[in-house]
Amino acid sequence: MSLTVLAVDDSRTMRDMIRMALLPAGFTVHVAEDGIDGLEVLDGIEPDAIITDINMPRMDGFGFIDAVRAQERRRGVPILVLTTESAPEMKSRARQAGATGWIVKPFDPTKLVKALQMVAG
């Protein structure tokens, strides 16, 4: 099964790590460097799932999740938050914004693939 994923993270290294984890598992991976870039990339694709960081310039993960959830056709797209943040109030805020799940960096590539297959498959 081929799934399309949008990964939004301001770290080039993290975007590369996500790509390296997902490509061998058969995913199509699109990347963006912040929330604004993410919304622009999203305009041209129909992702099965979205991965987003929280702390980014221009538009953070919370703003990005809000903007995605405001789009009628994107309401059901699973969004996984991939971040160094682990505070319960941050998780709660992400859930309220519409995030599907939460993965703390550094991530285990196998677990990331499994999480995406579970939420998007």
Domains identified in the chain and CATH numbers: 4-100 (3.40.50.2300)
pLDDT tens sequence across 55-96: 999 999 999 999 999 999 999 999 999 999 889 999 999 999
Sheet containing 49-52: which strands, arranged edge to edge? 28-32, 4-8, 49-52, 79-83, 101-104
pLDDT tens sequence across 28-52: 999 999 999 999 999 999 999 999 9
Burial class (CB in 10 A: 0-12, 13-18, 19+), 115: buried
Q: How far apart are CA 87 and CA 116, in angstroms?
A: 22
Q: How far apart are CA 56 and CA 120, in angstroms?
A: 24
- The number of beta carbons lying within 10 Å of the beta carbon of residue 60 is 17
Q: Write down the pTM of the prediction.
A: 0.95
